Chain A
Amino acid sequence: MTAIDRTLSDLVAHIASNKIAVVDLTNTLSPDFPVIVLPSEFGQCEPFRMDTVSRYDGDGPAWYWNNISMNEHTGTHFDAPAHWITGKDLPNGTVDTVPATEFIHPAVVIDISAQSAADEDFILTRAFLEDWEQRNARIPPQHWILLRTDWYKRVGTESYLNLKKDGAHSPGPDADAMRFLVLERYCVGLGVETVGTDAGQASNFDEPLPAHSILHGNGRFGLQCLTHLDRLPTFGAVVIATPLKIQNGSGSPLRVVALVPNSER
């Protein structure tokens, strides 16, 4: 057995023995799971819909299956670079062409849950990130940046989308924070618990929608509607996120899991 063989078999054995925990970061794909709402002049994202073809009945006595429909950006989903105009001409920018090696990366969890609880429009800034690095450690390259807001606890209530008369209200980064993460820390992408990588009010920023614009313009990815980021350590988790292979797809609903060393054992 080579060292590589041993690494893989050890990994599998550790998962089986729960020394490495598998944390499901995915919200259940259901008809009532909210989707992003754009201003009414734009086309809208369709929610998940399911119609039963048969359920052990006359239309299929022994089998149960459904027809489903949704937007590429419905539920827990992956944003490919081609999702944004800044990434439209990048090579391998659609989900079917993103190299499979991009689907497994380590993650850094930045906890802004207290700040988000205090201010639902909390903006993640470069200053906050530099201070965070002082308190923790330098953000390593080639990592997913996962923003823990505990926003997932709002799923099932109207405060998840948090739509008000002046639009949605939810936390997110500003442009300088995004440039810092993308151009100076070489992140793989940004993963959030909210419905978009950008803050709810980000279309009103001086540089509008900076997360989408800067991530995708530089070939990086987004993960949205994640759940249970509070179960991940600050460093050390590995995210497995494999979008559907949709031809020319701009994104895809997907199952996201994290491998987490179980320090209790």
Chain B
Amino acid sequence: MTAKPRREPRDPLARRQEKHVPPGARSRAMQAMSARAATGRFVLQTCVNCQTVTYPPRDVCPKCWNELVWADQVRGATVLSETTIRVTTDLYFRDHLPWRMGKVALDAGPVALAHLHQDLKPGDPAEMHLLLDKRGNAALFATPSGGAFDMSDPQWREFVVSVRDSTVLVSDGSSAVGRAIVSALRAAGAGSIIAGSPQPSRAPQSSDAFASIEGVRSVRLDLTDARSITECLTGIGGPLDIVVNTARFMRSGGITAGRLLDQKRALEIGVVGFMRLAQASAPLLRTRRASAFVDILSIHALAAEAGFAGYSAAEAARLSLVQSFRHEMRAEGVRVVSVFAGPIDDEDHQSVPLPKLAPARLAQGVIEAIEKGREQLCVGDAAQDAMDRWFDDPALYIREKNA
């Protein structure tokens, strides 16, 4: 691979710009809003009694003092006014001045203060987004209505991570999912892709499966081998913007009948391996203005599939670890994303009945989650259905899943 990776030009003598993150502390109601925004929902509180829709988040209805519940709302709005902020005491916003905000009349009812896309002016119709800021808190963002808008808007880019021209590490680029993600990243304009290649591989040089694809480099990477992670990361030799963790070891087997060594390996790669990768890549990600760590999780993380006991345990353990990692990285302004998938149409799921998710569809979901600023995304009906049922009644879902 001799193609020069595309990276933004940087002044070698410039003093490193310290990275600041938006203010962190929020009310309990605001946390609830952020939790919903993390999955891409556009929600506002509605009064159970008088049906008033209210914003900002509150503990009781401002009209009748009754209970408020979160409800999905229409996204339309009209820009009422525009303000450009030129002075602030907040270190994060000070780094990004001038900053445009405006009052918007939400079609759902309330008038709200929102971050404005550069192409919006008073009187314009707008589409509202609940985006997570770098600290993981929800914020209202107004973009021009009608779907497509300029994604290079500097304020928008403070809320999402862009794949274009980024350097991405895919921890296992040799699996069906890994290959699909590499292709999708390439199509989305990633500048440089490092595809991890677990060993052993076939002679001669099957690890160079990506050699013909410009901008993709295959590197020996085994998450059970700490040294290979260090060597892989040092080999990148520059900034790292996005990590997509696709490494896993999935073999069928229960607790009593399964092969213990396979189950141990599922944990060694899926759990300990994740920790090694997260630990080693975090210092690189935290120096970037916008960066993300994406972990692909099976819905078995929510409730065990008894026929894949070790794999389910590994996924569940990683779900827990990702929560901790996300908390740690919020303070560093790094987005940690969980992409949930049901059964995938790959070698690992060869005995699982249809329907199964095409790897390319999952890869599309990974790009979408990164570029839309999600913390969580369910790709495909199976994953969404599993999430809904688990959310609704976890104990019942566990029984039904293994009925």
**In the complex, chain A residues whose CB is within 8 Å of the CB of B204:** 158-159
| Interface window among B34-42, B218-226, B293-301, B325-333 | B218-226
> Given A32-B225, A158-B207 in contact, is the A165-B220 Cβ separation under 8 Å?
no
Interface residues of A in 36-57 (CB under 8 A from B): 37, 43-44, 47, 49-52
Q: Mark A136-166, 1 if CB is under 8 A from B, else 0.
A: 0000000000000000000001110111110
Main secondary structure of the interface of B (DSSP, over half): loop
Is the CB of A34 closer than 8 A to any CB of chain B? yes
Is the CB of A249 closer than 8 A to any CB of chain B? no
Q: Mark A163-188, 1 if CB is under 8 A from B, else 0.
A: 11100000000000000000000000
Is the CB of B228 closer than 8 A to any CB of chain A? yes
CB closest chain-B residue, reference A163 = B202
Roughly how many angstroms separate A59 CA and B278 CA in the complex, as a whole number? 20
Interface residues of A in 1-48 (CB under 8 A from B): 30-32, 34-35, 37, 43-44, 47
Report the minimum CB–CB distance from B207 to chain A (whole Å): 7
**In the complex, chain A residues whose CB is within 8 Å of the CB of B206:** 158
- Which of B199, B200, B202 is the most central at the interface, judged by chain A CB atoms within 10 Å of its CB? B200
Roughly how many angstroms separate A163 CA and B201 CA in the complex, as a whole number? 7
Roughly how many angstroms separate A43 CA and B262 CA in the complex, as a whole number? 8
Interface residues of A in 46-74 (CB under 8 A from B): 47, 49-52
Is the CB of B227 closer than 8 A to any CB of chain A? yes
In contact, A51 and B226 (Cβ under 8 angstroms) = yes
In contact, B201 and A50 (Cβ under 8 angstroms) = no
In contact, A31 and B227 (Cβ under 8 angstroms) = yes
> Given A32-B220, A49-B225 in contact, is the A165-B202 Cβ separation under 8 Å?
yes
Q: Which of B199, B202, B226, B259 contacts A50 (CB 8 A)?
A: B226
Q: Please tell me the number of chain A residues within 8 Å of chain B, measured between CB atoms.
A: 21
Report the minimum CB–CB distance from B178 to chain A (whole Å): 19
Q: Which of A43, A51, A161, A165 contacts B200 (CB 8 A)?
A: A161
Q: Mark B193-205, 1 if CB is under 8 A from A, else 0.
A: 0000001111111
Roughly how many angstroms separate A160 CA and B206 CA in the complex, as a whole number? 14
**In the complex, chain B residues whose CB is within 8 Å of the CB of A157:** 203
**In the complex, chain B residues whose CB is within 8 Å of the CB of A52:** 226
**In the complex, chain B residues whose CB is within 8 Å of the CB of A43:** 259, 261
In contact, B226 and A34 (Cβ under 8 angstroms) = no
> Given A32-B220, A43-B259 in contact, is the A158-B202 Cβ separation under 8 Å?
yes
In contact, B203 and A159 (Cβ under 8 angstroms) = yes
In contact, A164 and B228 (Cβ under 8 angstroms) = no
CB closest chain-B residue, reference A48 = B225
Report the minimum CB–CB distance from A146 to chain B (whole Å): 25
Report the minimum CB–CB distance from A75 to chain B (whole Å): 14
In contact, A49 and B224 (Cβ under 8 angstroms) = yes
Residues of B near any A CB (own CB < 8 A): 199-207, 220, 222, 224-228, 259, 261
Residues of A near any B CB (own CB < 8 A): 30-32, 34-35, 37, 43-44, 47, 49-52, 157-159, 161-165
* Contacts A/B (CB < 8 Å), 24 sampled: A31-B222, A31-B226, A32-B199, A32-B220, A32-B225, A32-B227, A32-B228, A35-B200, A43-B259, A43-B261, A44-B261, A50-B227, A52-B226, A157-B203, A158-B200, A158-B205, A158-B206, A158-B207, A163-B200, A163-B201, A163-B202, A163-B203, A164-B202, A164-B203
